[in-house]
Amino acid sequence: MKIISNYSVTQELLKKYDLFAKKRLGQNFIIDPSVVKKIARDSGADSNTVVLEIGPGLGALTQQLSKVSKEVISIEIDTDMVEILNNELDCDNCTIIHQDFLEYDLNQLQDQQELVVCANVPYYITTPILFKLIESDIHFKQITMMVQKELGQRLVAQVGSSQYNALSVIISMLFDYSVVMNVDKRCFYPMPKIDSIVVALKTKELDKLFDYERFFEFVKKCFTQRRKTLVNNLKEWGNVSPILEELGYSQTIRPQELTPSQFKEIYEKESLWKT
């Protein structure tokens, strides 16, 4: 079986099916085999693991994931890519599902004991995909995503930085995260304008009694408008001023100045808020 993740095979497949990369879907195909091999190796998958792959495209990463995992379930929105995957991808442990991932029922995976996620997704849909995974009831051992470098840096941004946002807080609460690799834009066809980054999110042991879903809604509300103070952003939630005073925080503190543990500390005082 030919290695899909190179320029000549990519061109061969696109020509055979009279296709091109669809800009509206953010399609950029990986043409460097070392990239997909490393992602597969560092995905957390092994012979007991089922991989949920989001956006397989031509199957470059799918091909490598199939070699290191028990099974690969790939969700692809593009009808043309599904045809290529079904016709050309030679791996017995791969299942291709033609569907928009945001409409895919993750509860179908409830019976799987060992689950990891791998995704190479465009900028515009990365955040909705992450929130769908995070807010589901499914336990994923690890989520490995290749995203545009700017967004990847936001995911792991530190408190006080200009990139720090609600998603940064949520990621920090739920995962131990690391950068797997930086990926030069020349590793793709067609070549995008900026480089990419691969981020690995390994699930932490969580407090089963804590309402993470409601806490994350609180965090998102805190960041409604970054330039506003926490007090102003939380007006609809309640009057946070007495709590800030009790905890020794300034009344003019902004969300990007608070660590994840400080957000949790404020949230857990909610029962004392007076509106």
Asked whether residue 161 is domain-assigned, the answer is yes
**Which of residues 73 and 153 earns the better pLDDT score?**
73
Task: Please check whether residues 60 and 179 belong to one and the same domain.
Answer: yes
Task: Please check whether residues 114 and 32 belong to one and the same domain.
Answer: yes
Task: Please check whether residues 128 and 70 belong to one and the same domain.
Answer: yes
Q: pLDDT value at position 121?
A: 85
Q: Give the model confidence (pLDDT) of 2-58 as tens digits.
A: 899 999 999 999 999 999 999 888 899 999 999 999 999 999 999 999 999 999 999
- Range from 199-203, 252-256, 271-275 carrying the lowest mean pLDDT: 271-275
Task: Please check whether residues 134 and 253 belong to one and the same domain.
Answer: no
For residue 170, give the CATH number of its domain.
Answer: 3.40.50.150
Asked whether residue 37 is domain-assigned, the answer is yes
pTM of the model: 0.88
Q: How many residues are there in the chain?
A: 275
1: confidence class by pLDDT, cuts 50, 70, 90: low
Question: Which residue has 């995503």 as its token pair?
Answer: 145
The 8-class DSSP code of residue 185 comes to G
Asked whether residue 210 is domain-assigned, the answer is no
Task: Please check whether residues 115 and 70 belong to one and the same domain.
Answer: yes
Asked whether residue 208 is domain-assigned, the answer is no
Q: pLDDT value at position 275?
A: 45
Structure tokens at 232: 């102003």
Q: Which residues contact 197 (CB under 8 A, 6 or more apart)?
A: 146, 147, 148, 149, 152, 153, 179, 181, 182, 183
Q: Is the dihedral of CA 20, 25, 31, 37 positive or negative?
A: negative
Task: Please check whether residues 25 and 77 belong to one and the same domain.
Answer: yes
Task: Please check whether residues 97 and 150 belong to one and the same domain.
Answer: yes
Which amino acid appears at position 160 of this protein? G
Q: Give the model confidence (pLDDT) of 157-181 as tens digits.
A: 889 888 899 999 999 999 999 899 9
**Which of residues 88 and 1 earns the better pLDDT score?**
88
Alpha carbons within 13 angstroms on the beta-carbon side of residue 187 total 19
Task: Please check whether residues 241 and 110 belong to one and the same domain.
Answer: no
Task: Please check whether residues 23 and 141 belong to one and the same domain.
Answer: yes
Asked whether residue 229 is domain-assigned, the answer is yes
Q: CA 198 to CA 182: how far, in whole Å?
A: 6
Q: CA 126 to CA 222: how far, in whole Å?
A: 21
Asked whether residue 260 is domain-assigned, the answer is yes
Nearest one of 234, 135, 144 to 198, comparing CA atoms: 144
Contact by Cβ (8 Å): 114, 48: yes
Task: Please check whether residues 130 and 232 belong to one and the same domain.
Answer: no
Task: Please check whether residues 134 and 242 belong to one and the same domain.
Answer: no
Structure tokens at 240: 């946070």
Which amino acid appears at position 182 of this protein? N
Q: Which domain holds residue 258?
A: 225-272
Q: Give the model confidence (pLDDT) of 86-134 as tens digits.
A: 999 999 999 999 999 999 999 999 988 899 999 988 878 988 999 899 8
Total domain count, the chain? 2
Q: Give the model confidence (pLDDT) of 178-225 as tens digits.
A: 899 999 999 999 999 999 999 999 999 888 888 888 999 999 999 999
